[in-house]
Structure 1
Amino acid sequence: ISQSSLAMPQAYYLKNDSETSSIQDKYVGFIESISTLVGQNWDAESIFQLEKSLAEIQLTPVEIPKAQLEAKETTLDALQALAPSVPVTAYLKNSGFNVTN
């Protein structure tokens, strides 16, 4: 199991220069447009802030290979203990894994 990617590269969420700020504003506008197209009223700024929060804790592209090398096999019970509120078995089954208890 590894981190998923976000809609934009990590740096686009974390940089504070004017060019990146413009990209962020356009992305929020894009979320608003998609919301309208699907007949919803999403809070685009909150969605962006959630993604930004995730970007802040993601591994960087440089860190990912090291983390993959350090990955260790674990049992389903041990994985469930790491994230008790996550339905790990259901997640794995829905992801196509053959899971037996």
Structure 2
Amino acid sequence: AQAIYPGYGFLSESAEFAEACEAAGIAFVGPTPLQIREFGLKHRSRELAADAGVPMTPGTGLLASLGEALTQAERIGYPVILQSTAGGGGIG
């Protein structure tokens, strides 16, 4: 094989797999390992998008407590979505 298209799911989100392809001289048809790592965390993705001037819905960075979440929800306005920044791997 000269290239691997990982599709969707675990391999498409694995920086280690993309690096292994690169090391073996096989083209990885997807994001670079750095991009996978940078965009793998929702709060970092949001920072990168803001830095690039991408229009976004109102939101916050990481929240440290329930009180902080409630304060920010009042500022943003309801309804709100609360998401984990990492983990899950797209499952559930």
Q: TM-score, normalised by structure 1?
A: 0.21
The structure carrying a bigger helix percent of its residues is: 1
Q: Which has the higher contact order (CA 8 A, sep 6+)?
A: 2
The structure carrying a bigger strand percent of its residues is: 2
Q: TM-score, normalised by structure 2?
A: 0.22
